[in-house]
Each structure stands twice: as structure tokens, then as C-alpha cells.
């Protein structure tokens, strides 16, 4: 079975793609042959007859993968909605078998896979099949990406505790800044409170990055993430 992480979020727009990229860089720094995967992406742009997944392309570039993006993001949809809804609007469903085949193929080539989910755990992929179910099938420990500001304690603890209740392994939490820090009291106190109340560790606090270069990512990863926790799962 492949090693790696399944990156989920407390909500949409919390910065899962950036955190997935950071984990790819962390694995590389630990000497692990690693790849990225975004199994299903909505809000893709259409170029002729081809759907282009921006998140999938970003992970491909960050991981320096030779595979075509169709192996990284096997299911692409145009409408930026939950996968089930976006697929229904296109008169189809999300092909789980296609995702499984792509995941298995990557697992035969790489030592670790960093998989980025869609939104949170209860985002529907198909009727009665959620992100939670995909994470369970892939068998990877979760990394929960959380916002830094007000409200994140509740959202983070709900996500972590629900995942554990459903029998998923949770490696830890990464608080991600998808914006420049506002220096609010909530931002200052939330990490400590989450550490106190969460049954899983805080892997780190990832700052907002203007520079998305390899060098900037690697430097920020080493400074802000707990590499020993990451190493444990790789």
C-alpha cells in the first residue's frame, strides 16, 4: 500500500493545494520519491476539447512529475461546484474506478503520494459517496488544513473528531494562511487552543507565500512544519 497523506480541509478555500505542495516538498527533503494527486477537480478551464485542472497542474509542476495531468487529475469538471453536482450538470457521474486505477499506477512508481481532496470530508463525490469514503479507500492518513482566524477552533475539532469517529487515521493539523496575517487575537491564540483540545498534533503553521518557487517552498517547509511528524508516515 502506498504511503503519503490525504489532504483535506475544514472548508473550501483554506489552502489545501498549497499545503499539499508543502508536503510534497517535505517528502522530497526527506529523500522520498513523491508525487502529487488531485483525483477530482471542479472549476477546470476548457481548452478546446480538453479540461485543464489548475490544481492538478500545480501539483504536477511542484513534484516535477513526468506523467500527463490526466494521471494526476483523472476526473475534471467545468462547474466549480461539489463533484457530484458538477458531474450531474454535465450528464455524468464521477468515475471512481478511473481514480482508483490512477492512484494504483502512481503507487507503483512513487514511494509516497500526496493526495489533495475537494473541500471537506462530507463533500459528495457521487450519491452516497463522499470525500471521506475516497480517503478511506486510499488508506492514507489525513492532514487537516485549517484557517487561522475566528471560527477555526470549532471547524477544526469537528473535522478531526468526525474523521476519527469514522475510523480514519489523522496525522495532524496544518493551519494555513491563504492571506497575509492580520495579527488578530484569534490568529494569535487559535494554535495553542487547538493544540490543547485536539486529539492529534499540530504539524505546523504555514504562512502566506508570495514566492511559489521551489527554494521558497523548501525554506518555508523546514522553518514551519514538524518534519519528524511527517517523517513518521513516510
And the C-alpha cell for 90?
454535465
Q: Could you tell me the CA-to-CA distances from 79 to 5, 45, 58 in Å, in that order?
A: 27, 9, 19
pLDDT in tens, the chain (234 residues): 789 999 999 998 899 999 999 999 999 999 999 999 999 999 999 888 888 999 999 999 999 999 999 999 999 999 999 999 999 999 999 999 999 999 999 999 999 999 999 999 999 999 999 999 999 999 999 999 999 999 999 999 999 999 999 999 999 999 999 988 888 999 999 999 999 999 999 999 999 999 888 899 999 999 999 999 999 999
38 is an active site residue? yes
Q: Could you tell me the CA-to-CA distances from 63 to 165, 195, 200, 223 in Å, in that order?
A: 32, 30, 27, 20
Domain residue ranges of the chain, discontinuous segments joined by +: 3-232
Options 3, 16, 33, 38, the catalytic residue: 38
Q: Which CATH architecture has domain 3-232?
A: 3-Layer(aba) Sandwich (3.40)
Helix (H, G, I), strand (E, B) or coil at 41: strand
- Looking at the whole model, is its pTM more than 0.75? yes
Helix (H, G, I), strand (E, B) or coil at 64: coil
CB atoms within 10 A of CB 28: 19
And the C-alpha cell for 134?
475516497
Measuring CA to CA, which residue among 133, 127, 122, 123 is closest to residue 99?
A: 133
- β-bridge mates for residue 72, sequence order: none
Helix (H, G, I), strand (E, B) or coil at 118: coil
Amino acid at each position: 500500500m502506498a504511503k503519503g497523506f490525504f489532504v483535506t480541509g475544514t472548508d473550501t478555500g483554506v489552502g489545501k493545494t498549497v499545503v499539499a505542495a508543502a508536503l510534497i516538498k517535505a517528502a522530497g527533503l526527506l529523500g522520498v520519491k513523491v508525487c502529487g494527486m488531485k483525483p477530482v477537480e471542479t472549476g477546470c478551464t476548457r481548452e478546446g476539447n480538453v479540461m485543464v485542472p489548475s490544481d492538478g497542474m500545480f501539483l504536477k509542476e511542484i513534484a516535477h512529475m513526468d506523467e500527463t495531468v490526466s494521471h494526476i487529475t483523472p476526473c475534471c469538471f467545468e462547474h466549480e461546484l461539489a463533484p457530484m453536482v458538477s458531474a450531474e450538470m454535465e450528464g455524468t457521474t464521477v468515475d471512481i474506478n478511473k481514480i482508483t486505477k490512477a492512484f494504483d499506477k502512481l503507487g507503483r512508481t512513487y514511494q509516497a503520494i500526496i493526495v489533495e481532496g475537494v473541500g471537506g470530508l462530507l463533500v459528495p463525490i457521487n450519491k452516497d459517496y463522499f470525500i471521506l469514503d475516497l480517503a478511506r479507500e486510499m488508506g492514507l492518513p489525513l492532514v487537516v488544513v485549517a484557517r487561522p482566524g475566528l471560527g477555526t477552533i470549532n471547524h477544526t475539532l469537528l473535522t478531526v473528531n468526525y474523521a476519527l469517529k469514522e475510523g480514519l487515521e489523522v496525522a495532524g493539523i496544518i493551519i494555513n494562511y491563504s492571506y497575509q496575517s492580520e495579527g488578530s487575537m484569534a490568529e494569535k491564540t487559535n494554535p495553542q487552543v487547538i493544540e490543547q483540545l485536539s486529539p492529534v498534533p499540530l504539524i505546523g503553521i504555514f504562512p502566506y507565500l508570495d514566492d511559489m518557487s521551489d527554494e521558497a517552498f523548501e525554506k518555508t517547509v523546514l522553518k514551519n512544519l514538524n518534519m519528524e511528524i511527517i517523517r513518521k508516515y513516510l
